[in-house]
Structure 1
Amino acid sequence: MLDVQMLTKRFGDKTAVENVSFNIDRSMMIGVIGRSGAGKSTLLRALNCLSDVTSGSITFEGQEITGLKGAARRNWQSRCAMIFQQFNLVPRMDVVSNVLHGTLNRRSTLATMFNLYPDSDIHKAIEILDRLGIAEQAEKRAEALSGGQQQRVAIARALMQDPQIILADEPIASLDPMNAQIVMQALRRIHEEDGRMVIANLHTLDTARRYCDRVIGMRDGRVVFDGTPEQLTTGAARDIYGAGADFSEAATSTEIETLDRSQTYAAETYA
């Protein structure tokens, strides 16, 4: 389905992604992990054509993606939806209107200017919000919602595009552990129930193991691990994160129980 070959992206004399290659032959949920600055976000932006690549190729179902321009690029971006860490909602606009923005690529300029939507799209937006457990928030301004609720609105907006691929760039980085789990469960259900490919940039090992079918580890712009969650051992994680023997997975955990144990241990140690 998705084939990435020798992908490189440079910003001046800095190489953000270097000779990255991988192939995804079926719909699955993939976690891309690594330290900040490893090249994860640059990779996703290249996949979505938000950033042009320096060299290499991206092919989806036989179509060359790199180098698309104009309407062809917009069409690809409607098939490959992007979810951002900071939600990218319109704060003072109501929730359902934010979700309906997922249809902008297929609407006329006039309809966009006057905020006109067919009833079928409005009903679909509310159905998606209901699926994500936040239909009761539809009439509220986006800025009135919690971070976890706002991220689910962003997921709903992506689903309005009816995409084949969902790219999630650090979707839980700014969320507390409870909301992080709710958002990851939502993305997993979307993959399983809809058959959509989901590629998510993640910081935490436990999240990648729990929700993903495959994990790609990046370090300094290169892929240094590509395997199953079971193959993501502590030793492999040390290599991905460039850490020493004192590396602790608990420090990167989003599991509430693990965090509670870590906090209890710290309190007892330093009491």
Structure 2
Amino acid sequence: MLKLANVTKSYGENIAVHSASFAIDKPMMVGVIGRSGAGKSTLLRMLNRLTDATSGEITFDGLNVTALRGTAKRQWQSQCAMIFQQFNLVPRMDVVSNVLHGTLNRRSTFSTMFNLYPDEDIHRAIDILERLGIAQHAPKRAEALSGGQQQRVAIARALMQDPKIILADEPIASLDPMNAQVVMQSLRDIHEQDGRMVIANLHTLDTARRYCDRVIGMRDGAIVFDDTPEMLTTSSAREIYGADASFSEATTSTQIEPDETVQRRLVDIAAQ
């Protein structure tokens, strides 16, 4: 389905991504890990065409994504939804309107200016919010929600695009461990229930192992690991992060002890 062939992005003499190549032949949940500055975000931005590759080729179902321009490029971006670390919501706008922004690519300028939405889209937006456990917050301003709730609104907005691929750029980096698990489980459910491809940039190894079918490790712009979560050993992690024997996974863990208090709190967060 998705194939990258020697994709490179350079900024002058600085190479952000160097000759990245991999293929994903079916919908799966893929985690991209690596230290800050490894090229993870640049890789996702090239997939979505927010950033143009300097060289190489990206194809999806035979479509040369790197060659798209104008309307064709915008159509691709509607099929390749982005979720960002900082949510990118309109803070003073209500939640359901933020979700409906996922339809902007197929609406007229007039309807966009006057905030006019078909009833069908409004009902669908509320259904998606219900699916993510936050429909009761639909009339509230986005800024009134917690970080975890706002990220689920951002996920709902992405789903409104009905994309073939969801790209999540550090979706849990600004969240506490409990909300991080709720958001990651939401992305996992979307992959399993909808059959959508999900590619997420992650910092924590335990998260990649728990939620992903495949893990790609980047170091200094190059792919240095591409395998199943089971193969992501401590030794492999040291190679990805360029660390020595003192490297400890515990410093990046989002794991929560599964006691009764935590389980009740997770249920409460999901219901909010």
Tell me the TM-score range normalised by the shorter chain. Answer: over 0.9
Write the distance in 1 (CA, Å) between the matches of 2:154 and 2:192: 19
- Is 2:48 the counterpart of 1:48? yes
Query: What are the Cα deviations for residues 2-42 of structure 1, in whole angstroms up to 9, with x where unaligned?
Result: 00000000112110000000000000000000000000000
Q: Which amino acid aligns with 1:209?
A: R
- Cα deviation, residue 67, structure 1: 2.8
Aligned twin of 1:213 = 213
Q: Which amino acid aligns with 1:44?
A: L
- Is 2:18 the counterpart of 1:7? no
Aligned residues: 258
Query: What pairs with 1:61-100 in structure 2 (closer than 5 Å)?
Result: 61-100=61-100
Write the distance in 2 (CA, Å) between the matches of 1:145 and 1:56: 41
Aligned twin of 2:247 = 247
Aligned twin of 1:195 = 195
Q: Which amino acid aligns with 2:94?
A: D
Query: What are the Cα deviations for residues 86-106 of structure 1, in whole angstroms up to 9, with x where unaligned?
Result: 000000000000000000000
Secondary structure, counterpart of 1:32 in structure 2: strand
Write the distance in 2 (CA, Å) between the matches of 1:183 and 1:138: 18
Aligned twin of 2:262 = none
- Cα deviation, residue 133, structure 1: 0.3
Query: What are the Cα deviations for residues 90-132 of structure 1, in whole angstroms up to 9, with x where unaligned?
Result: 0000000000000000001111011000000000000000000
- Cα deviation, residue 83, structure 1: 0.2
Percent of pairs with identical residues = 78
Secondary structure, counterpart of 1:153 in structure 2: helix
Write the distance in 2 (CA, Å) between the matches of 1:67 and 1:145: 40
- Is 2:65 the counterpart of 1:57? no
Query: What are the Cα deviations for residues 196-223 of structure 1, in whole angstroms up to 9, with x where unaligned?
Result: 0000000000000000000000000000
Q: Which amino acid aligns with 1:197?
A: M
Secondary structure, counterpart of 2:163 in structure 1: coil
- Cα deviation, residue 75, structure 1: 0.2
- Cα deviation, residue 257, structure 1: 2.5
TM-score by length of 1: 0.94
Write the distance in 2 (CA, Å) between the matches of 1:69 and 1:200: 25
- Is 2:159 the counterpart of 1:159? yes
TM-score by length of 2: 0.94
8 A Cα contact 1:7 1:18, kept in partner: yes
Query: What are the Cα deviations for residues 54-100 of structure 1, in whole angstroms up to 9, with x where unaligned?
Result: 00000000000003111101100000000000000000000000000
Write the distance in 2 (CA, Å) between the matches of 1:22 and 1:193: 25
8 A Cα contact 1:52 1:67, kept in partner: no
Write the distance in 1 (CA, Å) between the matches of 2:45 and 2:12: 17
Query: What are the Cα deviations for residues 148-172 of structure 1, in whole angstroms up to 9, with x where unaligned?
Result: 0000000000000000000000000
Q: Which amino acid aligns with 1:75?
A: Q
Secondary structure, counterpart of 1:66 in structure 2: helix
Secondary structure, counterpart of 1:37 in structure 2: coil
Write the distance in 1 (CA, Å) between the matches of 2:257 and 2:5: 40
Aligned twin of 2:263 = none
